[in-house]
Amino acid sequence: MSAPESYRRVAAFVREHPWAILPETLATIVEVVRLRVAGTPLSDADIRTRLVAQPARVEHPAAPAGIAVIPVFGVMGHRMGMMTEISGGTSTERVQAEVRKAAADPAIGAIALDIDSPGGSVFGVAELADTVFEARQQKPVVAIANARMASAAYWIGSQATELIVTPSGEVGSIGVLAIHEDVSRAAEEDGLKVTYITSRSAPRKTDGNPFEPLSDQARAMLQGRVDTYEDLFTAAIARGRKMPQRRIQGQFGAGLMIGAEEAVELGMADRVEPMETALARLATQLSDRRGGRSMTGQAAATPRVTVELLEPDQEGRCPEGYEKGEDGKCHLAKTDSQEPGDPKAIAAACVDAGFPEAAKELIGLPMSQVEAQLKERQRVKAAADAKAAEVRQLCAMATVPEIAGDLIAGDLKAALTRLKARLASTEIDTAQRGDGVDRSRPALNTTEIYRERNARPAMKGA
């Protein structure tokens, strides 16, 4: 296959698929592909320079004993093939295999992802993210932005136990994009007119093709695709960073890259640290942990115990960090090997959950327990709100809406007093059904009832 023909296939891939990548990098890929399709000679070194603005990274810092350092460099793709060769990029399949191997290796105590990538194709990224998240359940996984962790690369890095940014590094570009090239005019100038013939059951099979302007229907289709992948992207970040998805969608840069210090302030990263320092610290923590100390370097201590009871979910399951007791309730586990959560993260989680006042009570607990208790508070509040709505509806149907507030507040005595007064005020209306009052209308309050009666002539014999 000739080089131009190979690049035509790459061009089709670029046009037809969503990307989680820096926009400028995608623009460069489009430019390179267009030049090669046109037959412009470009060496692999020229292409690599255009894409990464520096020689391809082939080395990373030496790994301390017991730590697997896995590089994630350049443009990311599912099965890179030619793109790997020309850009120094990374195959997500290759990284996935290396992470699984390290997670299963008993000689490896921790995994470090050395990331310097503008992102790449969305294909294979969700699967790799799941693999990284699963690995962190077995041993510490540290992702290091050294120095650029953009888009798909951040999707992956956010699944680590800890996310570090080097002092000059950046993270972000959260979001997904797709491109559409309308080459119909160029084809016409070349004397070409392309017509697609589709089978009868696939009238939309050619939506978004490059030989005609993008229709509103095709644009909506492409928009739906990128939005679907963004939902996967932000949901994964929410899982990995342990925070609500809406916070990521509203406070994580809106698609922009964020510098190291600001990333930590926003909760996008955990600390700012050079790569070598991070690896040395990880090696020390690993040694301490194997020696019976915590990952913070402090002697292991009995975790704080909080006596809390939660209700199991509809399927009878208890939240993480809780155990079902003989009474059927979910009891907070009396021992928990997790470290206390970061106070700032706990405070932010409380604000996001709608219970800012809970931070004082929950600071000091592991993050899993914080999340479980906040979820339980949300469940209780939702149930109470639903019950209150039902009470208001029933009171309105019974034409006694004024007692709803007392019933909701649990003040039965006050509600009974109001109800007696309401019954007394409508006693005449109950006894006399032939007074001419139109009861097809909504129920009247006490004042309206007396006004209605006084406006009508008295009945005979009254």
Half-sphere exposure of 257 (CA within 13 A, CB side): 23
pLDDT score at 113: 97
Two structure tokens written together for 116: 């310097």
Two structure tokens written together for 197: 């013939």
The edge-to-edge listing of strands for the beta sheet with 330-332 is: 309-310, 330-332, 322-324
What DSSP letter does each residue of 325-382 carry, written as one string?
-TTSPEEEPS---SPBPPHHHHHHHHHHHT-GGGHHHHBTBBHHHHHHHHHHHHHHHH
Q: How far apart are alpha carbons 110 and 142 in whole angstroms?
A: 8
Amino acid identity for residue 219 in this structure: R
For residues 151 and 173, the answer to whether their CB atoms sit within 8 Å is yes
pLDDT score at 451: 52
pLDDT score at 259: 96
Two structure tokens written together for 235: 């949901």
CATH number of 1-295: 3.90.226.10
Amino acid identity for residue 426 in this structure: T
Two structure tokens written together for 350: 């409380």
19 forms beta bridges with 121, 177
Q: How far apart are alpha carbons 242 and 244 in whole angstroms?
A: 7
Question: Each residue of 220-253: pLDDT tens digit?
Answer: 888 999 999 999 999 999 999 999 998 998 899 9
Q: Tell me the angle at which helices 412-425 and 446-454 cross, rounded to the nearest 10 degrees.
A: 0
What DSSP letter does each residue of 16-50 carry, written as one string?
HS-EEE-HHHHHHHHHHHHHHHTT----HHHHHHH
Q: How far apart are alpha carbons 183 and 177 in whole angstroms?
A: 20
Task: Tell me which residue has tokens 């793109």.
Answer: 83
Q: Is 392 helix (H, G, I), strand (E, B) or coil?
A: helix
Q: Nearest-CA neighbor of 47 among 84, 76, 101?
A: 84
* Whether the predicted model's global pTM rises above the 0.85 cut: no
Give the contacts of 195 (CB within 8 A, at least 6 positions apart).
none
Q: Tell me the angle at which helices 92-104 and 125-136 cross, rounded to the nearest 10 degrees.
A: 10
Q: Cα(first)–Cα(last) distance of the chain, in Å?
A: 105
For residues 164 and 144, the answer to whether their CB atoms sit within 8 Å is yes
Q: Which residues of the chain have pLDDT under 70?
A: 1-13, 16, 37-38, 42-61, 80-88, 289-311, 313-314, 319-322, 332-338, 410-413, 415, 424-462
Q: Are strands 170-172 and 257-259 parallel, antiparallel or unpaired?
A: antiparallel
What residue segments make up the domains of the chain, in order of their start?
1-295, 302-425
Q: How far apart are alpha carbons 191 and 23 in whole angstroms?
A: 32
Q: How far apart are alpha carbons 290 and 288 in whole angstroms?
A: 5
Q: How far apart are alpha carbons 30 and 17 in whole angstroms?
A: 13
Give the contacts of 72 (CB within 8 A, at least 6 positions apart).
90, 95, 113, 114, 115, 116, 117, 153, 156
Q: Are strands 330-332 and 309-310 parallel, antiparallel or unpaired?
A: antiparallel
Q: How far apart are alpha carbons 164 and 158 in whole angstroms?
A: 10
For residues 346 and 361, the answer to whether their CB atoms sit within 8 Å is no
| Rg, C-alpha atoms of the chain | 32
For residues 408 and 423, the answer to whether their CB atoms sit within 8 Å is no
